[in-house]
Amino acid sequence: MKLYRFLSDDDTSAFCHKVTAALNKGWALQGNPTYAFDTARGVMRCGQAVVKEVAGDYTADTKLGDH
């Protein structure tokens, strides 16, 4: 099955570490990163989609972060 996750965080090194951790667990980047200004908090936010092929069948109970 193919899994999809969308990672997001403030535009800090924490976001880069989150994406790097996913890549090192076998996830692959899907598309370009996105950026948006959070007016309520006054910060830039980043997002990046990642995908991964794993064995098994998808269910709504699949824990994406466990893969």
Q: What are phi and psi of 5, to 5 degrees?
A: -135, 150
Q: Which residue has the tokens 């824990």?
A: 63
Considering the entire predicted model, what is its pTM?
Answer: 0.85
More confident residue, 65 or 55: 55
pLDDT category, 65, cuts 50, 70, 90?
A: confident
Q: Token digits for 44?
A: 């830039």
Of 11-15, 25-29, 61-65, the poorest mean pLDDT is in: 61-65
Residue 50's CB is within 10 A of a number of other CB atoms, namely 21
